[in-house]
Amino acid sequence: MNEQPVNPLLAASPHPYGAPAFDTIRTDDYLPAFQEAISRAQAEIKAITDNPEAPSFQNTVEALESAGRDLDRIGGIFFNLQEACTSEAMDRIAETVSPLMTQYSLSILHNEALFARVKAVWEQRAGLTLDTEAAKLLEDTWKTFSRNGADLPADRKERFARLSEELSLATLKFGQHVLAATNAFTLHLTEEADLAGLPGLVRETAAAEAAARGQQGWTFTLNQPSYGPFLKYSERRDLRERMWRAYNSKCIGGEHDNTALLRTIVALRTERARLLGYPTFADYALELRMARNPQNVEQFLERLMAPSLPAARREVAAVEAFAREHGFEGNLMPWDFSFWSEKYRKACFDLDDELLKPYFRLEAVQAAVFDLAGHLYGLRFEERDDIPVYHPDVHVYAVTEESGRFLALLYLDFFPRESKRGGAWMTSFRELGRYDGVEERPFVSIVTNFTKPTPATPSLLSFSEVTTLLHEFGHALHGMLAEGRYRSLTGTNVVRDFVELPSQLMENWAYEPAFLQPFARHWQTGETIPREYVDRIVAARNFLAGYGQVRQLQFGLVDMAWHTAPDAPDGDSVAFEQELLRPTAVLPQVPGIGFSPSFNHIFSGGYAAGYYSYKWAEVLEADAFDWFREKGLFSREAAGVFRRELLSRGGSVDADILYRNFRGRDPEPDALLKKLNLC
């Protein structure tokens, strides 16, 4: 009699540290694994509600925190791969699993017997002897129930559940459309003349892309390593316009249209918030964040916009004047700006990406980032060939302290592919938690879309990609250095407007000569990057700072506008966005073009009513880096304070208190404006 093979997603992993068994997991394993894990989790919840003992912190709140471990583990694998290595089959499974997960979540949050037990513990909190971490878990558990409709009457609770299911599918579909639209467009060139202005490395990458597709010539895509350099260097204005329009009209009309879907998402979020008594989704979302309410966010954005907009307009005027001096005629359009601003930057600082890229070989940058973590936190990174990965491009490292204590697994997935969404992010396959006295350390992943090596050239990073790697590594440190008992309070499980602090702080080292010079060597000659190049990098740091800041603030304004409206705006989504941005426009607006229909961060990711948080966290990091400058950029003692008081604490303490514990005071409000020379 043949035994049924064990589903690897439900079995104990045979690999070191319990690493995911990517070598044996098959797509067909996911759905039955989810179904079984949900069943197990429901049994664990039933054991809590059927407990004859009086509700206590241990038998209710802690037990609930530990419930569903299998489901969390499986979801951590599946949903991360759906972003980084998906397929049509995975997408179909996601469409089945997402409502199941929503239903499971709501079956907990709307479980009256469970809520009664949580409520009983909450009401006796004054008499409990809980430490800070346990008290925060109790508070967060209570708020999670109350903010997800546990107190609603039956009919409104049922409506809340239906809205939640519809919302999970709508946001999933939005992200699928963005990926599909990104992959649907290519610019295939066969004439050498069409490549005018493109550097050799850009041409080589495009030739490799064409060859991979079985084409002759050169193929350009909407993935950033292809799209960005094309806009920056191509002398063919007509082709730049074609690429720009394709990129900026993703999901506007056609097969992958999101213009109506995003309004549906906003409407669902708004109705859910109003069921809970909040006037808008933004009021609901911001209640627990550092910003607290939409009015504070709007004042914050306005405070930054006031000095930034005049600066941005001066910068654009300077770029346009430079372009005209060099023969440009007509209006400077969005598809011209990257091209001419790069030439202007080169004229001002004698600096461009193609000059710097040969010094930033990916492997060298990675080694330097690891070395920086060693200096600051005493971390060691050992590549492990005995731990399976989900794609041949992925590498995995065991991260340990100098004492030998294991801290985390770090997966690095650097290169674009059709199965991966664009951008760069950090995520976790497993977060820190303690169960039955046993600590489970995190499995962290950094995913990017850097230029892939070709047969003749290694992967060479632009300087902005160097800062991107440092940024995502900052998030990874937040996850890897986590300490604590409760999964929901560790690592990056912090409020949205605090989570970007560790990542944005790390970017600062990219502008420090003492960090750059030891590793930045020409990949062919071995020559150390000339000090004059480093000086130019530092000098050019705030080049177009006003323009860049306005662009980010515009994203935040659009996000808040969608989520502060009492009802989802009717009509044309693109027209709504363009009307909103008209007062802050610094380049001509192009009819029919908008970023909202492909704005994954707020319509598919976790940044709804939260995109402002990038700038909020920049204020924190600008203030925090001043402290590192005072104490020493490579000071183990200084980094130790940052780790102890902030990085390791996760969400176990309110973010405001964490920052004050670290800095000894609240952040200086104008720290970012000073850093950017905008005040």
* Catalytic sites, residue numbers: 472
DSSP 179-228: HHHHHH-EEEE--GGGGTT--HHHHHHHHHHHHHTT-SSEEEESSHHHHH
Largest CA distance in the chain: 83
C-alpha distances (whole Å) from 96 to each of 8, 91, 621, 645 are: 20, 9, 41, 42
Q: What type of residue is 568?
A: A
Helices (H), 279-333: 281-286, 294-325
Within a 10 A sphere around the Cβ of 450, how many other Cβ atoms?
Answer: 20
Residue 264 corresponds to which tokens in the numbers above? 């549906």
Strands 443-447 and 186-189: unpaired
Burial of 325 (0-12, 13-18, 19+ CB in 10 A): exposed
Helices 132-146/112-123 angle, 10° precision: 140
- Distance, in Å, from the CA atom of 620 to the CA atom of 614, rounded to the nearest integer, reads 10
**Cβ atoms of 21 and 388 closer than 8 Å:** yes
The Cβ of residue 280 has, within 10 Å, a number of other Cβ atoms equal to: 22
How far, CA to CA in Å, does 613 sit from each of 56, 499, 606, 609? 36, 8, 11, 9
Angle between helices 655-663 and 636-645 in degrees, nearest 10: 160
**Pair of tokens at residue 552:** 């980010």
| Cα–Cα separations (whole angstroms), residue 587 to 227, 306, 309, 590 | 20, 17, 12, 9
- Nearest-angstrom CA–CA distance, 484 and 460: 38
d(CA 508, CA 467): 8
DSSP state of 451: P
Q: How far, CA to CA in Å, does 101 sit from each of 37, 74, 75, 161?
A: 11, 12, 9, 12
Write down the residue that tokens 């992010």 correspond to.
Answer: 425
Cβ-based neighbour number of residue 304 at 10 Å: 25
Phi then psi for residue 670, to 5 deg, are -95, 15
User: Is the separation of the CB atoms in 280 and 297 below 8 Å?
Assistant: no
> What phi and psi, each to the nearest 5 degrees, are found at residue 427?
-150, 180
User: Is 629 exposed, middle or buried (CB count within 10 Å of its CB: 0-12, 13-18, 19+)?
Assistant: exposed
Identify the bridge partners of residue 187 per DSSP, sorted by sequence position: 220
Give per-residue burial for 112-123: e unless 16+ CB within 10 Å, then b: eebbebbbebbe
C-beta atoms surrounding 98 within 10 Å: 20
Bridge partners of 434, per DSSP, are: 439
C-alpha–C-alpha distance, residues 419 and 268, integer Å:
29
What lies within 8 Å, CB to CB, of 150 at 6+ separation is 109, 110, 115, 157
